[in-house]
Structure 1
Amino acid sequence: MQINFYKYQGAGNDFILIDNRRNVVKCIDKQAVAKICDRRFGIGGDGLMLLENEPGFDFKMVYYNADGNEGSMCGNGGRCIVAFAKHLGIINDVTKFLATDGVHHAKISEAGNWVSLQMIDVADINNDGEAYVLNTGSPHYVKLTADLESKDVYNEGYAIRNNDTYKQDGINVNFVEKNGDGYFVRTFERGVENETYACGTGVTAVALAMAKHDHQTGTITTPIKVLGGDLNIRFDYDGETFSNIFLEGPAELVFEGEIAI
């Protein structure tokens, strides 16, 4: 069966999107998703998303990791599917949609290439040695480091993601370095099992963890540089709970086409 797809990217985090409001894709197996996401034998992407109907919402986001498994929340994917919904004429400038971690609100610019996505509230940040561990829709490990540009993120991230603590469920590993008023972040993502150019839930986790690390409270804005560009996180922190968390950045259509599923 031939099906239309759209390729989007948000700060270098790239995704394959399919309009499934008519339930054209009734079932897609792990091997099919992995092949579609393969950069040599498929379209190539960090994940695949289905946009589906959901009563009470503008749409539902169904997300698959590049390894073919259905994934947890993807922040940059969430921003890209908002841009996709605008492209399809489902929404104008604001939306409410459902993802695996719950309800999300978002706003998109008139030009359609800048998306501000509200993330879930976060109350718990734990420590693993000097690192921080928290869930921003997906689980994250956040570690301050030096000389990040030259760090072997793949091997160091792989080792942490597959250690005795995290091997069974997996975790995304973020290495962080101070960068002016913000931070430079590189991320090893579970599900992709490699470094990606950006990770939305990851940079969100970094911003929250660094606010706790620096004992900041109030309304905070944190610019973050990733390999694929620049993102922004803004939130409120009262010393106990992080709320009104927004992940902001670009979301752009790369190309569209057809593929056999």
Structure 2
Amino acid sequence: MKINFLKYQGAGNDFILIDHTANPLENIDSELIERLCNRRFGIGADGLMFVTKHEKYDFEMHYFNADGKLGSMCGNGGRCIVAFAKHLGIIAKETNFLAVDGPHYARISESGEWVDLQMIDVETITKDGEAFILNTGSPHYVALQSDLLNFDVFSKGKTIRYNSTYAEKGINVNFVEDKGDYLFVRTYERGVEDETYACGTGVTAVAMAMAKHKNQSGHIKTDIKVLGGDIKIEFDYDGFKFTNVFLCGPAKLVFEGEIDSI
């Protein structure tokens, strides 16, 4: 079986995109998805997504982690799938699409390489020691960390992700260093089980956690730097609830191709 695909990246978070609107592929299972995402024996990606038709929305997003399992919401993946939908001619400048955590609105630049994606509202933030715990479409652990560039994100992130509190369902572990003009963020992602160059729901969670940490309120704009580039977050926060949340950043086509189902 031949599989046609496009590969996109959003701030270094990379994805395999497959069009399921016209001729859906058969015999796609978690084992095959894991092989396609493998960086040595497949295409290589942090995740894989299908675009399918939906009666009430422009399209529906189906996201799978690199381990082949159905994932929770992926923010950078959401931005990349919007760019893919524009490439396919499904949308033009704006879209309303459905993801696993519900409907999402997005707007895309004329070039198709910058997407502002609306994320879900968030009301609940709890604490685990000094760390913040919240769900921005995926569950996140946010901890402040000095000298983050030289910090062992993989080992520490893995330890937290698999501790007795989070091992069963998993959690994404984010470390943040406040640089004044921007936040520097590194993330260990469940499902990938490694550090990724960016995590969309993760940087969204970090921006919210830091707003709470600093007792900020109003319309807040936050510049984020990750290993893969720059992302912007903005939202309204009244001290209790985060609304009008937007994850803004690049969504770029890397290459397209055809691969056997290996």
Matched residues, number: 261
Partner of 1:83: 83
Cα distance between partner residues in 2 of 1:27 and 1:222: 43
Q: Map of 1:25-40 to 2, 5 A cutoff?
A: 25-40=25-40
Cα distance between partner residues in 2 of 1:3 and 1:145: 42
Q: Tell me, yes or no, if structure 1 residue 234 matches structure 2 residue 242.
A: no
Is the Cα contact below 8 Å between 1:66 and 1:191 reproduced in 2? yes
Cα distance between partner residues in 2 of 1:245 and 1:179: 22
Partner of 1:50: 50
Partner of 2:106: 106
Look up the equivalent residue of 1:185 and give its one-letter code: V
Partner of 2:260: 260
> Residue by residue, what CA displacement relative to the aligned partner does 1:153-183 show, whole Å, maximum 9, x if unpaired?
0000000000000000000000000123220
Cα distance between partner residues in 2 of 1:167 and 1:79: 28
With structure 2 as the length reference, what TM-score do the two structures score? 0.98
Q: CA deviation at 1:68?
A: 0.5
Cα distance between partner residues in 2 of 1:153 and 1:72: 22
- Give structure 2 stretches of 5+ with no counterpart: none
Cα distance between partner residues in 2 of 1:26 and 1:214: 50
Is the Cα contact below 8 Å between 1:120 and 1:137 reproduced in 2? yes
Partner of 1:196: 196
Cα distance between partner residues in 2 of 1:241 and 1:201: 17
Is the Cα contact below 8 Å between 1:218 and 1:237 reproduced in 2? yes
Q: CA deviation at 1:23?
A: 4.6
Q: CA deviation at 1:22?
A: 2.5
Partner of 1:137: 137
Cα distance between partner residues in 2 of 1:45 and 1:191: 12
Cα distance between partner residues in 2 of 1:14 and 1:174: 18
Q: Tell me, yes or no, if structure 1 residue 220 matches structure 2 residue 217.
A: no
Is the Cα contact below 8 Å between 1:96 and 1:104 reproduced in 2? yes
Partner of 1:146: 146
Look up the equivalent residue of 1:136 and give its one-letter code: T
What SS does structure 2 have at the residue aligned with 1:76?
Answer: helix
Q: CA deviation at 1:25?
A: 2.0
> Residue by residue, what CA displacement relative to the aligned partner does 1:15-66 show, whole Å, maximum 9, x if unpaired?
0000001252244211111100000000000000000001111100000000
Look up the equivalent residue of 1:159 and give its one-letter code: T
Partner of 2:161: 161
Q: Against the structure 1 CA distance between its residues 203 and 62, is the aligned structure 2 distance closer, same or farther, given a 3 Å change threshold? A: same
Q: What root-mean-square deviation, in Å, do the aligned CA atoms of Structure 1 and Structure 2 show?
A: 0.7
Look up the equivalent residue of 2:128 and give its one-letter code: D
Partner of 1:6: 6
Look up the equivalent residue of 1:170 and give its one-letter code: G
What SS does structure 1 have at the residue aligned with 2:34?
Answer: helix
Identity over aligned residues, as a percent? 66
Cα distance between partner residues in 1 of 2:3 and 2:32: 13
Q: Against the structure 1 CA distance between its residues 2 and 168, is the aligned structure 2 distance closer, same or farther, given a 3 Å change threshold? A: same
Partner of 2:171: 171
With structure 1 as the length reference, what TM-score do the two structures score? 0.99
Cα distance between partner residues in 1 of 2:234 and 2:123: 16
User: Which consecutive aligned stretches of 4+ in structure 1 deviate over 6 angstroms post-superposition?
Assistant: none
Is the Cα contact below 8 Å between 1:23 and 1:52 reproduced in 2? no
> Residue by residue, what CA displacement relative to the aligned partner does 1:183-213 show, whole Å, maximum 9, x if unpaired?
0000000000000000000000000000000
Cα distance between partner residues in 1 of 2:144 and 2:3: 44
Cα distance between partner residues in 1 of 2:192 and 2:33: 12
Q: Tell me, yes or no, if structure 1 residue 184 matches structure 2 residue 184.
A: yes
Cα distance between partner residues in 2 of 1:73 and 1:163: 22
Cα distance between partner residues in 1 of 2:68 and 2:111: 32
